[in-house]
Amino acid sequence: MPQHPPRDMRVRLAKSRQTWLGIALPALATLVAANILINVWQSWRDLTAADALAAQRLDVQTSLIEKNIRDRIDALNGTIGVARTLIDAGGLTDASLRTLAATLRDSMGNIDIAVFDADRHVRAESRAGVSNALPELAAALTRMDTRAPTERWTPVQWRQNGAVLISADNRDRTGALNAVIVVFVPLEQHLLDGVTLAPGTAIRLLDSAQRLIARYPLAASVTLGERAPDTATRRPGPVEGTAFVSSRTDGIERLVASRRIGVGQPLAYWTLEVGYAVRTYRRDLRFSVYLNAAGAACVLIMLIGGTLLVRREKALREHVARYTQMISTIVENMPTPVAMIDATANDILLANAALLDTFGALAADGQPFSRLFGHADDWSSLRENPTDEPVPMLARGGTRHMLVRCTRLPPNQAFDTDSILVTLADVSRHHQLLKQLRTAADFDPLTGLANRRYFASAAEHAVDQARRLHRPLSVLALDLDFFKRVNDTWGHAVGDRVLQIAARLFEASLRDDDLAARVGGEEFLALLLDTDLAQAQTIAERVRLAIQDTPIMLDSGKTLSQTVSIGIALFLETEADLTGAQERADAALYAAKQAGRNRVTVAAVDASDTSSSA
């Protein structure tokens, strides 16, 4: 047997292809990194923009509050000025002070005014007994300097709110102290009139000694009038005049704007601090940042998952490659022919050495697999309907009968398309022996036609094919007319000769694909494949005429004429087998004999199976 060069079957089957995920993974990693950087940059940019916008709004709001405070300071300075005028003009009375206090009620609330002489005795007051109710009044009067002009603005605790106690001197023309003016201003919410505060706003008003004058909101840990400890850390804000302040008292970080407001003496001043809670005005932005972070985290997790999948796939492909290499080694060294066939194109994808040794170049890669069969249609039939019957195949040494086994395989690492694994087993010797045995068992020894057993087997295959392909199938039932007279008159030897000649004429009148069989003494049947009733009638008439017109020579030199009666029936796809068609053909044959013999009768195809004569 000629040797073929070794085929690298294992290399082809074990070859692994990198998937699209493995190819795209570096690009995905780059995109994920870029996405994270873009999200970080966008979040930082949004954060900066939000801080700048909040700082601008804070600056405007601080300016409004500062204006309110300055207006009230100016009003209080005017009040002190009016009180001095009353003192100098001699018009100072309780009534005049009540009138003066009433003019400030709408803007400043309920303020109290009292005037004392140089000895600290009450000269007039806007409300009876007010001098006894004012907090820290004695200390304020004591601090008044008799030698130099003095004006003090002192924060004091007043109920739940703070207040400011203003003490100012009044001097005569010689510069001597002749009166002390005291104005008591409760700091309620009038400082914020006309100002709409943003959520989370906090306000502090401190004097130059860092004592707390007013606060918003009201609840706080530092008592009004006490020194406010500087326990906050600061860093520059986005706009000049602002700062980020983290309070150690409440733990809240605020964006704070400050203003310095002069009061009283030239070196005295108040400090206004207005702050926005950073977490409040960044709330919406924080939600957006969290979404971006969550999105980036999801993409990162997907990237990590993809990396793990690629590694897992690589390990699986290596495992498959090792397994495939082992399998391919086994297949390559199998002594029987094996091939991989493209299930769509029916071309050979791969063939082992045994297949090439058996069939030669016809079994090379890319060749149509059907070319290896004696009948190309056998391959199509075997794919759909596997059989245990051997089929003829065109081997290098001639026609060989092979058992064909087909296994459908899904797309795999080696082949992108569906494929069929085909294994062949050479049973030519067994087939020849079986054929010889079947010849003795399946054919009539007198006429050489198929016997009843072989006809029944052939009828099953014919019925399956007719039903599968939806093609017509007809049956002929033939009987020799008056055959008993031949045996009775001329003997059984002449009868056998008549049977032989009639059988030869019968088979010769049929087509190559038709099957003639002897099923009784003078009874015959025929299977007419792919034949309707009209075609079957034509064939039956040809048989009848061939037998009628052929004289049969006897040994004595005399001749005999023989006629036949024929019944025809059509197989119906609704029937399970050929039994019904045979019965209808026999009924048509009986009708032909009843009608005078030597004729063809066709069985009707209606439900009642009635017959009609031709």
Residues involved in catalysis: 522
3-state secondary structure string across 288-305: HHHHHHHHHHHHHHHHHH
By residue count, the chain amounts to 614
| Angle, vertex CA 384, rays to CA 379 and CA 390, nearest 5 | 50
The CA–CA distances, whole Å, from 397 to 1, 393, 423 equal 10, 11, 19
Burial class (CB within 10 angstroms; exposed 0-12, middle 13-18, buried 19+) of 127: middle
Phi, psi of 266 (to 5 degrees): -60, -35
Cα end-to-end span (Å), the chain = 62
Give CA–CA dist 315/53, Å, rounded. 55
DSSP state of 436: H
Amino acid type, 377: D
DSSP state of 553: E
Task: Check if the beta carbon of residue 277 is closer than 8 Å to that of residue 270.
Answer: no
CB count in 10 Å sphere of residue 354: 21
Give CA–CA dist 514/495, Å, rounded. 26
Burial class (CB within 10 angstroms; exposed 0-12, middle 13-18, buried 19+) of 247: middle
Task: Check if the beta carbon of residue 545 is closer than 8 Å to that of residue 608.
Answer: no
The CA–CA distances, whole Å, from 200 to 59, 187, 255, 277, 313 equal 15, 21, 11, 5, 55
Q: Please choose, from the candidates 425, 433, 385, 386, the residue with its C-alpha nearest in 3D space to the C-alpha of residue 402.
A: 425
59's tokens:
């600056």
Q: Which residue has the tokens 């493995």?
A: 22
- The CB-based long-range contact list for 515-521 (8 Å cut-off, 24+ gap) reads 515/450, 515/455, 515/458, 515/462, 516/449, 516/450, 517/444, 517/449, 517/450, 517/451, 517/452, 517/454, 517/455, 518/444, 518/446, 518/447, 518/449, 518/450, 518/451, 519/451, 519/452, 519/455, 520/452, 521/483
Question: Which helix (H) or strand (E) covers residue 181, if one does?
Answer: strand 177-187
